[in-house]
């Protein structure tokens, strides 16, 4: 039986054989812990009929575990130098396809149409490069892909924000953006030592389960996010100060005050204390005032 790609010895041998050097600019940190890889894949609740999209497969450590648990997998790899390595390491898994592409520029809907069956159970499972975690997750959610959810390894600090509740120090506009589309749950915390090279930060595996409908029904999605961003523009400022400096003109302050009163939202509150439902009502009420 061949050794897993992910063992420290295998990883070292593969990298040496191909003379591979890590590119800091691509945030390359490869996983070398079987238990963690197993836990990531288990968190995705895959079946033998599932399809998986992976982002940044590296040398294929996580891809191998995905391949064993799914019917079909497609991995996006931006670094051309890894393509020959992946061809070799993933040779035993003909149902895995590697696409040389930047996922942020890719038409993922098109990829899904080409590689997966219609109505197939689909998950995104990835050890994401930390420098582009947020843009990738937001793209996956905003593209409204036909996926059940996302299980990914990300920086612990970012995971804490994604899953944060109102009134906590980690709760911010990103928490709301994510929780508008999905429910967020931290599955496991991961030490730096299970990576080669070790990153400077601890990591967490987070699971995002896509909602059938957004968390709140708003009249204008773009404006809803604009209100949220404005409310958090300066964290220490009150909702009133942020909204009047970012969104509502001086001439309309009285109208803003009456909207807040009607919604029973104290203008002295800070953005981080508002629930997603309160933001939804606030955005719908402010729409005619600002647009």
pLDDT tens for each residue of 103-156: 999 999 999 999 999 999 999 999 998 889 999 999 999 999 999 999 999 999
Closest C-alpha among 236, 84, 92 to residue 172: 236
Domain covering 221-290 in this structure, CATH number = 1.10.8.100
Closest C-alpha among 224, 225, 241, 242 to residue 233: 242
pLDDT in tens, 159-194: 999 999 999 999 999 999 999 999 999 999 999 999
pLDDT in tens, 198-222: 999 999 999 999 999 999 999 999 9
**pLDDT for position 235:** 86
List alpha helices for 19-79, DSSP H.
34-43, 61-69
Distance CA 220, CA 225 (A): 9
pTM score, whole prediction: 0.94
197: cis peptide before it, omega within 30°? Answer: yes
For 71, 96, 146, 274, the CA distances from 122, given in Å and listed in that order, are 10, 14, 7, 33
**pLDDT for position 272:** 96
pLDDT in tens, 16-71: 999 999 887 888 899 999 999 999 999 999 999 999 999 999 999 999 999 999 99
Q: Which residue ranges make up the annotated binding site? A: 29, 31, 56, 77, 102, 127
Give the tokens for residue 169: 């120090």
Q: Boundaries of CATH 1.10.8.100 in the chain?
A: 221-290
Chain centroid to Cα 274, Å, comes to 23
Q: Which residue ranges make up the annotated binding site for S-adenosyl-L-methionine? A: 29, 31, 56, 77, 102, 127
Residue 177: helix, strand or coil by DSSP?
helix
- CA end-to-end span of the chain, whole Å? 64
Helices (H) and strands (E) in the chain, counts: 12, 9
Distance CA 11, CA 56 (A): 16
Contact yes or no for 93/22 (Cβ under 8 A): no
Residue appearing with tokens 């051309």: 80
Question: How big, in percent rounded to 5, are the helix, strand and coil portions of the chain?
Answer: 45, 15, 35
For 77, 85, 185, 199, 266, the CA distances from 11, given in Å and listed in that order, are 18, 11, 30, 16, 56
**pLDDT for position 23:** 86
Domain covering 8-210 in this structure, CATH number = 3.40.50.150
Residue appearing with tokens 């959810």: 149
Residue count (the chain): 291
Q: Boundaries of CATH 3.40.50.150 in the chain?
A: 8-210
Nearest-Å Rg of the Cα atoms of the chain is 22
Contact yes or no for 83/124 (Cβ under 8 A): no
Distance CA 267, CA 60 (A): 52
**pLDDT for position 3:** 80
Residue 134: helix, strand or coil by DSSP?
helix
Distance CA 239, CA 273 (A): 9
Closest C-alpha among 277, 271, 272, 268 to residue 217: 277
Give the tokens for residue 36: 């963690």
In the DSSP assignment, the letter for residue 113 is H
pLDDT-based confidence at residue 1 (cuts at 50, 70, 90): low
């Amino acid at each position: 039986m061949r050794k897993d790609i992910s063992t420290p010895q295998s990883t070292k041998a593969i990298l040496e054989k191909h003379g591979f050097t890590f590119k800091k600019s691509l945030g390359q940190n490869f996983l070398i812990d079987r238990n963690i890889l197993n836990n990531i894949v288990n968190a995705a609740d895959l079946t033998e009929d599932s399809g998986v999209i992976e982002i940044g497969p590296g040398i294929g450590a996580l891809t191998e575990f995905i391949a064993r648990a799914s019917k079909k997998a497609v991995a996006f790899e931006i670094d051309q130098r890894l393509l020959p390595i992946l061809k070799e390491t993933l040779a035993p898994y003909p149902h895995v396809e590697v696409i040389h592409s930047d996922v942020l520029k890719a038409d993922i809907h098109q990829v899904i149409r080409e590689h997966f069956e219609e109505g197939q159970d689909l998950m995104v499972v990835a050890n994401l490069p930390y420098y582009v975690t947020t843009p990738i997750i937001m793209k996956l959610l905003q593209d409204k892909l036909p996926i059940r959810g996302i299980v990914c390894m990300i920086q612990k600090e970012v995971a804490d924000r994604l899953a944060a509740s109102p009134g906590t120090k980690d709760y911010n506009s990103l928490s709301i953006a994510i929780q508008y589309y999905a429910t967020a749950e931290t599955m496991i915390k991961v030490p730096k030592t299970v990576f080669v090279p070790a990153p400077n930060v601890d990591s967490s595996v987070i699971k995002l389960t896509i909602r059938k409908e957004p968390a709140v029904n708003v009249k204008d999605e773009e404006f809803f996010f604009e209100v949220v961003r404005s409310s958090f523009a300066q964290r220490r400022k009150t909702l009133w100060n942020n909204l009047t400096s970012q969104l509502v003109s001086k001439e309309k302050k009285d109208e803003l005050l009456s909207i807040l009163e009607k919604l029973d939202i104290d203008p002295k509150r800070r953005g981080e204390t508002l629930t997603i439902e309160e933001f939804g009502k606030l955005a719908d009420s402010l729409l005619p005032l600002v647009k």
